Amino acid sequence: MKKKKNNNIKQAIINIWQGKLDLGQTFWLVFIIGGTIVTLPSFILNDEFIDSISDIGALLAIFFFIFQWSYLVWAYVATWRSATNFKPKKNQWSWGTIAKVYIVLSVIRSISLIFR
């Protein structure tokens, strides 16, 4: 039973990565909500905090940042692919294009924060 559940989770992660999840779910649940949850600890883990923690704490912070950036790359790619797969109905906005523009702006913002 547990093996089946693990396979379901693994398959869900793969399906999201491949853009098979609905654009609305991918954008709002994976990109916005998931990305916000994963990014929130970064506001605590600033330079002053890192300087004041032990070596083990710093190592854990490094692992967290690796996880955080891995998640964010996964969310960006998954949302981009889901937006590519989105087919608007007649006379409907192309939400896929809007999502892609938002992703590009978000990437630019993230890169600018790194070099700030």
Encoding tokens for residue 102?
């938002």
Helices and strands of the chain, counted as H and E runs:
6, 0
pLDDT tier for residue 7 given thresholds of 50, 70 and 90:
confident
This prediction's pTM: 0.84
* Angle, CA of 43, 47 and 49, to the nearest 5°: 75
In this prediction, residue 2 carries a pLDDT of: 64
Residue pLDDT, tens place only, 103-113? 999 999 989 98
49-84 pLDDT tens trace: 778 888 898 888 889 999 999 999 999 999 999 999
Q: Say if residues 46 and 113 touch (Cβ distance below 8 Å).
A: no
d(CA 14, CA 53): 36
- Total Cβ atoms within 10 A of residue 33: 11
Instruction: Give ∠ CA 76-69-14 in degrees, rounded to 5.
Output: 50
